[in-house]
Structure 1
Amino acid sequence: MLQLGAIDRSDDRPPYRQIAGMLRAAIEAGVLGPGERLPSEAELIDHFHVARMTVRQAIQELKGEGLVVSEHGRGVFVRPMPPVRRLASDRFARKHRDAGKAAFLAEADKVGYAPGVDRIMVTRGVAPAAIAEHLRLPPEAEVVIRSRRYTANGRPVETAVSFIPADMAAGTPITEMDTGPGGIYARLEEVGHVLARFTEEVGARMPTPEERRELEIGTGVPVLTVLRTAYDTADVAVEVCDTVKVAPAYLLEYEFPAR
């Protein structure tokens, strides 16, 4: 069995929190790796000489933190985490589009994971009020809506929904399932909307039940939200992308001048 310490009865923390702390430390140190099974309830009860409820409270605390998951009939396992993606500020640089790579593929090359995209849907509809405001469109303006899910090494890490003014997307592969090399931004530049800048609004929250299912995460795992707006050289907003990212899978990195 995993080597664990003993409960300190003089500690102000209740026993279940001490047990959770020891298991957490083992996970963070890599002693218990992703996908490994934790000691069973019976083993933990025998080791710590505590009641079953105390052990269950400790496991529940780790579940709430998103560190472990239960599998019915099999036990409790360390949650397999997707590889950390460092989102650098140059991920939308033209050099990547010129090489035929959208931002997600460019990041995959840097970090070394196998990228994937699935659940692609392309529709037309009215822009939600907040999106229309970012795109500087009048109410009821029509947009092309592209939604998809991204995976890293086969694990979901992000959902993204792009909104592009319908007149800009008309007649381009943006309205098709496959946008071609370089993605949406390459196609926009081909029709004259040369990109000049981006803005991003970053937030953090707990996921909705639907997002948990889509991203295959537990109730204790937070998500990052990034709302990005792309502008061309005429300062026209050409796309808004609303993304929801599995927080432990990302490290956001921004570089900006000190002036």
Structure 2
Amino acid sequence: MTSLPGVLGDLDPTSDRAVFRQIADQLRDAIAHGRFREGEKLPSEAELVEHYGVSRMTVRHSFSLLQGEGLVHAEHGKGVFVRPRPPVRRLASDRFARRHREQGRSAFLVEADTAGSHPTVDRLEIREEKAGQDIATRLGSVRRVLARRRRYLLDGRPVEFATSYLPLDIARGTPIAEPNPGPGGIYARLEELGHRLDHFEEEIRARMPTPTETKTLQLAPGVPVIHLIRTAYDTGDRAVEVCDTVMAADAYVLSYQLPAT
């Protein structure tokens, strides 16, 4: 049996863990420790069959498991490769701080700069529509809203898409209804309209993506999403925006500072 020295070990015949899972464990560990890097080809089926003394079907089960976890992808006729990950964007607790708006920077630009990445926005859609029940409730029984839908990319890779819902009596006929609302984004425009922001409430949960979300974010099999719903309140405690955001979970680190008092 030919070894792959310094990269993969041997199987444990005394383990009750299935052989294909043991192989996947070793490959996963090698990827995690950088022995196989992003974009690098993994050993071929034939090499792993010889190394471990198992069948091709067993190796394929191992690869399938790693594909389901979003760690690798297969290219027909070429092999199995470590999947490149999008740049990590740190979702920090101060991303909506007023100082950023005063500098003419939206939250996405702030986080992209922190990650050292180039941000772009596409698939922008702006329209007036009837508010769904959940959005209407969050906005205080508002019936009609201005909806702003957009997809965000870092270095050309989709990382999130979001829809902002704003009460129509606030947003209609203002720069908020324009494709480019101006420096600082829609929050800066809200404050110029007299709705000084006071606080935000966020609900965050992780789940598996829908087929549409998988396509929109170009997710690999097994990659979950972070679903975040944020409500912005002005100093009069009026809800002035609800933002419904779906993010590729492998592109984010959630980072918050919480008071201890």
1:23-102 superposed matches below 5 A: 23-102=27-106
Amino acid in the other structure paired with 1:41: E
Question: What is the Cα deviation at residue 252 of structure 1?
Answer: 1.1
Q: Give the corresponding residue for 1:236.
A: 238
Q: Which moved more, 1:33-42 or 1:21-30?
A: 33-42
Aligned equivalents of 1:120, 1:74: Cα separation in 2: 37
Q: 2:137 aligns with which of 133, 137, 149?
A: 133
Aligned counterparts of 2:47 and 2:149: Cα–Cα separation in 1: 46
Q: Percent identity of the aligned residues?
A: 57
Question: Where do 4+ consecutive residues of structure 1 move more than 6 Å?
Answer: none
Take 2:131 and 2:75, find their aligned partners in 1: how far apart are those partners?
41
When the two structures are aligned, how many residues end up with a matched partner?
257
Amino acid at match of 1:124: E
**What is the CA-CA distance between 1:91 and the residue it aligns to?**
0.3
- Unpaired segments of 5 or more residues in structure 2? none
The 3-state SS of whatever aligns with 1:55 is helix
Per the alignment, residue 107 of structure 1 pairs with: 111
Is this contact kept in 2: 1:122–1:144, CA < 8 A? yes
1:169 aligns with 2:139: no
Residues 84-112 of structure 1 deviation map (CA, whole Å, 9 limit, x = unaligned)? 22111110001111111100101112221
After TM superposition, give the deviation of residue 164 of structure 1 in Å: 0.6
In 1, the alpha carbon distance for the partners of 2:201 and 2:253 equals 18
Contact residue 207 and residue 219 of structure 1 kept, 8 A: no
- Distance apart, 1:248 and its partner CA: 1.6
Aligned match of 2:148: 146
Structure 2 length-normalised TM: 0.95
Report the 3-state secondary structure (helix = DSSP H, G, I; strand = E; otherwise coil) of the residue aligned with 2:201: strand
Please, which moves more after superposition, 200-209 or 111-120? 111-120
**CA-to-partner distance for each residue in 1:119-138, whole Å, 9 max, x for gaps?**
11111101110011001124
Partner of 1:195: 197
**Counterpart selection for 1:8 from 5, 12, 17:** 12
How far residue 211 of structure 1 moved from its aligned partner, in angstroms, is 0.5
